Structure 1
């Protein structure tokens, strides 16, 4: 599912320190002085903009330095992200409460229509296989035995589905594009959910249903839902830092991500 704010692009400053790989992925190696397990790694799964934006690269660098492990950002779109960051800027707001006219929403539909064929190209069956193959290849070539994942928007849904496999050991799911209960019930790994105050794709009802489904599973995997006031869908990946509430939420959500993934890569989650 693609909602309006999935297409809101706010650039993080900073110069990426990692490198683009031949397969289109981005890689930041573990620091030389790291005492974290060399058999652990983290994957960052992007929103629909993929690696066209600076943000996932800068965030991957910080995760690698903070956690002391290799961090990878796979190219889930084969070099062809469905949207550009500026495509739908007129139709989104970084803070809650903005009302949109009927004409605004009609205009949004006409803006998205030409993109419809691209949705099929990035359907779950295709992207999930791409990411699963990417993980299996890393495990074989790099010897990883522990994989933590953080996913945003589109990538949050991929992270959710990965949590129902044995490929990963923990996942941060940030404002996903919905959370089908069947997928929530299939979760095997510990998860942390980063939730926006206002989110067309993962609103209060969907969030409540997901949490209740996990709570009903006695002896199931650990989970935590964290809500961030003053935010809309996309805040944890593309924060509008000029808004104090958004800046605070982005920083706190990123700190929470580091805290949780730190436990995952150490095998303690």
Structure 2
């Protein structure tokens, strides 16, 4: 693993659009049958949402919003408040991303996401930490939520569909939300080269609210969501991304105690 933030600008860097990664190129792993969801599906403001609350005492004014990758709520790896912003149409593991994405643009996915955010705030939640994976780290999702100051703190892992440096230039221009990125050495979308372009815009103190990026070597797109339990590199990377995101969230939320929990 390497910590690759606050790096100097690369003179040869040019704008890049981070492409989608085919479902077949994501890490996929069988989840042991003994492992089951710890939360439940409820409807919030008309949107099906997976909710998992801490078993111990917690701050009811703080919430973690999880924006899934394209595999949506059916994935057993989901945690905390996870809105079905895919409208019940998650892509199957062997699905065709080109045809699927036509019905999952901002016009279709923005309303359910913002409906849940609005409802959480109406319930008295004052701080929202948002974390997104792949599709969930892009467009109006973590990137837009941070750009528009809709959430308190943001983290994303192996994001796609970003325009670098445009999306981060906009973030710098109007946001006061700290943001953290976990990326993979072998990602064919948000590649290490694109990650360095992002650092050139956000690193070295250029983004006062706070920016950090951590690269995990030996893993590919999807590593922060699922891992092969028999591969110690994958397991360590997934756990490392979780720990890094959790520390970032805890550092940027006003908490009476470390009560933020993903499970």
TM-score, with length taken from structure 1: 0.77
Q: 2:228 aligns with which of 240, 248, 259?
A: 240
Alignment of 1:50 with 2:50, yes or no, is no
Q: 1:74 aligns with which of 61, 83, 102?
A: 83
Picking from 98, 113, 129, the partner of 1:116 is: 98
1:172 aligned to 155, 171, 185, which one?
155
Asked if 1:250 is matched to 2:234, the reply is no
Listed as ranges, the gaps of 5+ residues in structure 1 are: 61-70, 89-111
Query: 1:163 offset after TM fit, Å?
Result: 0.9
Whole-angstrom distance in 2 between the partners of 1:137 and 1:152: 22
Matching of residues 1-269 of structure 1 within 5 Å: 1-4=19-22, 7-13=26-32, 14-22=35-43, 23-34=47-58, 37-56=59-78, 60=79, 71-81=80-90, 83-85=91-93, 87=94, 112=96, 115-140=97-122, 142-157=123-138, 158-180=141-163, 181-187=165-171, 188=175, 189-215=177-203, 218=206, 220-266=208-254
State whether residues 146 and 267 of structure 1, in contact with CA within 8 Å, keep that contact through their aligned partners in structure 2: no
- The structural deviation recorded for 1:126 is 2.9
Gaps of 5+ in 2: 1-18, 257-263
The CA deviation at 1:215 is: 2.8
Provide the rounded CA distance (Å) in 2 between the counterparts of 1:132 and 1:217: 30
Conserved? CA contact 1:7–1:49, under 8 Å:
no
Instruction: Give 1:217 shift.
Output: 7.0
Q: Which deviates the most, 14-23 or 223-232?
A: 14-23
Q: In the TM superposition, what is the alpha-carbon distance from 1:55 to its structure 2 partner?
A: 0.8
Residues 191-212 of structure 1 show CA distances to partners (whole Å, capped at 9, x for unaligned) of 1110101111101221111111
SS in 2 for 1:177: coil
Query: Shift of residue 229 of structure 1?
Result: 1.0
Deviations 1:16-54 (A, max 9, x none): 1211113321001243423xx321100111110001110
Query: TM-score under structure 2 normalisation?
Result: 0.78
For the Cα contact (< 8 Å) 2:65–2:129, is it kept in 1? yes
The answer (yes or no) to whether the contact 1:11–1:53 under 8 Å persists in 2 is no
Q: How many residues align?
A: 225
